[in-house]
Amino acid sequence: MSLKTLTKPWEAMAYGFLDGSAKREIRRKMIKAIAVPGCQMPYASREVPMARGWGTGGLQVSLTLVNPTMRVKVIDQGADDSVNAASIRRFIARVAGAPTTMDTLDADLIQSRHRIPEEILRDDQVLVLQVPNPEPLRPVQPNMSIARQMHADADYGRMWLQLYEQIVRSGRVMQGASYPSLVHGRHVMTPSPIPRWDVPKLNMAQHLTILSAGREKRIFAVPPYTRVEPLVFSDVPYKVEDHAGLTCHRSGTRGFFMNEIPQEDGSSAFEVSDSEWGVKAIRRRDGEEVALGETWYKNGRMPS
């Protein structure tokens, strides 16, 4: 053994910013996360040049997976052009030399904050969701050691009680985003704060979903063709947001998840939340040839 065998040639920066040991840690934990769908796996979350809570968990997964041929799309609440999305996309491109895109159909890796694109993802695409709070039991059990025991026992009675109390108090389930969902019939997970509209997209999907919480240091996954069932009572069906009848005031597209834009006269205008879908719809309306992918929702309904 010589000194040379113990060292590596000098590099200005590790490829993809993360050093080898950080990548290997994420790789090992991703294997376990995929093997036990929906189960939160603790991992050694590293520092990245971004504040915790701004997508560091998702970024670490993206930086581990990325290579110079992997086309990256980053979304923030559906939009490709918001500050958070643009910064993360530029950072990944800069440290990994990866090509970027805004088109869901072109992307190999999609890092997303709180939305799943409207176009159906293929079985060679990876969706990385940023997760602020990975523990669905936290509202009913703040002690995370006890929560871990409850997951081990599949003791989810209090989750049902919470939903029941919401129905009794308010007449409906009040949980808007991060709707607790049972994965593979065993682990309840939070699907990250995606709207209720997006949760059915995870059920038996073709793509691989990795959910990573950098601040909370947990990673979990939904492999393709895995059951993801929102917790519902049999007599109170699951309801998505009532957006099926809304029309986007810019692109004219209809039947997708919308952002509400308050107007000066007190009324509201609506704009499609998946910004690239809206852009493509406008370009097609203006006579360009644009490929629109198959969408999960058809005429505002999720085919069952």
Summarize as ranges the residues that interact with other proteins (CB under 8 A): 9, 11-13, 15-16, 20-21, 23-25, 27-37, 39, 41-42, 44, 64-65, 67-68, 94-97, 123, 148-149, 152-153, 184, 186-187, 208, 221, 223-227
Rounded CA Rg of the chain: 20
CB closer to other proteins out of 39 and 279: 39
Beta bridge partners of 188: 182
Contacts 24+ apart (CB under 8 A), 27-34: 27/64, 29/219, 30/61, 30/64, 30/210, 30/219, 30/221, 33/210, 33/219, 33/220, 33/221, 34/208, 34/221, 34/223
Residue with tokens 């590099």: 11
**For residues 151 and 212, is the Cβ–Cβ distance under 8 A?**
no
Exposure pattern of 98-111 as b/e (b: 16+ CB <10 Å)? Answer: bebbbbbbebbbbb
